[in-house]
Amino acid sequence: MKYFSCFLFLCIVFSGCQKDLPEIITGCMDASACNYDSDADQELEDDCEYPETYYDCSGDCLVDLNNNGLCDQLEATGCMDTSACNYDPQATFDTQICLFPIDLYPSSSIDGVSYVDCSENCLIDEDSDNICDQIDDCIGEYDECGECNGDGPQLYYDCDGNCINDIDGDGVCDENEISGCTDNNPSTNGGIACNYNPEAEISDGSCTYPNECGSCTGDVSCLGCTVPGACNYSWTATIDDGSCTYPNECNSCFGDISCLGCTDPWAVNYIPSATVDDGSCVYEVGCQDGEVYDCNNNCAPLAWIGDGTCDNGNYTYNGVYIYFYCDQWSWDGGDCIGGMPSNEKKGSKPGR
């Protein structure tokens, strides 16, 4: 009964509390939370919700000075000027702290304008000599005389205008001297040289002289045979050149040798018209002394030739008719000129 009484009491008491106590409200009680509930009486675990770092509860940046939607704390800061030496392509927030060549290399500028880039390389260097054109004394090359883009000394001269070679010291460089034949002495080498050059200053050994006829053009009309009896005697020649030719044994200048032959009447090949014996005589053993071969090669008395009787086969000798009527025997030594016909036979000559 005791326990029952207590239970009943508690029940009564509890029933009375429900009627008298206010309702308990649970929620986030952190005023900095996005879901802060000012009416909450009781905060349960994980009731509060907070924004991401650097953002508010609406998802907006707490600090965004450049209004680019990226919180300043999350920005990559740096120089955003692409012409600056310290330009940072990763930067999203411009620090306005940019450096230029004139800041890095103030001595490489003229009137506040730099002539180098961020690596101190020349902006303009046309001759690639690593000297910026703005301070380069010679944009190009110096010649051997020290002149910018000069052509150097004149050919054969030094930088001071003096001849490099001037053997005769006349101020004209040896290479510019006029060379040629300088011999104009008429008493040497057959006269003044054909190619004498009055403007030549240096002899080059090229002189040529007149020939035997005094000609510089090759005229040799003065040369020839000067012997009057020669076949090729030239009446215009004044200098004998050893070319004379003379008549042959037959006194011919044209090769006529009809005067040559055997001049021995006793020879078989005796030629009465020959005036110069050429050693060609031939003798036959068959004929006796005082005999010769007639026109038919028959032995006949030599005395019959020119005896006043034409031996044209009219007479016999040793039973053979003899003929001297031919050119070989000059027509029987002249006996047969207008002589007797060959068919008139007389037999032997009287006394033969």
DSSP 79: B
Strand duo 93-94 + 77-78: pairing: parallel
Same domain, 269 and 344: yes
Range of the domain at 230: 220-246
Strand duo 109-110 + 113-114: pairing: antiparallel
pLDDT of residue 338: 57
Same domain, 271 and 342: yes
- In this predicted structure, the answer to whether residue 9 has a pLDDT above a threshold of 50 is no
Same domain, 227 and 304: no
Distance between start and end Cα atoms, the chain: 237
Q: CA torsion angle for 132, 133, 134, 139 (degrees, to 10)?
A: 140
- In this predicted structure, the answer to whether residue 351 has a pLDDT above a threshold of 80 is no
Q: Could you tell me the two tokens for 146?
A: 């020290």
Same domain, 264 and 329: yes
Same domain, 238 and 274: no
CB-based contact 104:85 (threshold 8 Å)? yes
Distance CA 257, CA 277 (A): 11
CB-based contact 98:78 (threshold 8 Å)? no
- In this predicted structure, the answer to whether residue 31 has a pLDDT above a threshold of 80 is yes
Computed over every residue of the chain, the mean pLDDT equals 85
What residues contact 25, with CB distance under 8 A and at least 6 apart?
37, 39, 40, 41, 42
Distance CA 102, CA 109 (A): 7
pLDDT of residue 20: 57
Question: Containing H/E element for 7?
Answer: helix 2-20
Distance CA 9, CA 5 (A): 6
pLDDT of residue 13: 45
Per residue in 137-193, pLDDT (tens digit) is 999 999 999 999 999 999 999 999 999 998 888 888 988 888 899 899 888 887 899
- In this predicted structure, the answer to whether residue 280 has a pLDDT above a threshold of 70 is yes
Give me the percent of the chain exceeding a pLDDT of 90.
Answer: 53
pLDDT of residue 236: 92
Q: Could you tell me the two tokens for 43?
A: 């905060």
CB-based contact 259:248 (threshold 8 Å)? no
pLDDT tier at 349, thresholds 50, 70, 90: low
Number of domains in the chain: 2
Q: CA torsion angle for 283, 287, 292, 293 (degrees, to 10)?
A: -80
pLDDT of residue 288: 83
Per residue in 60-84, pLDDT (tens digit) is 998 888 888 888 888 888 899 999 9
Distance CA 225, CA 246 (A): 11
- In this predicted structure, the answer to whether residue 304 has a pLDDT above a threshold of 60 is yes
pLDDT of residue 344: 45
pTM of the entire predicted model: 0.35
pLDDT of residue 95: 81
pLDDT tier at 342, thresholds 50, 70, 90: very low
Same domain, 230 and 272: no
Q: Considering the domain boundaries, does residue 103 fall inside one? A: no
pLDDT tier at 203, thresholds 50, 70, 90: confident
Q: Considering the domain boundaries, does residue 268 fall inside one? A: yes
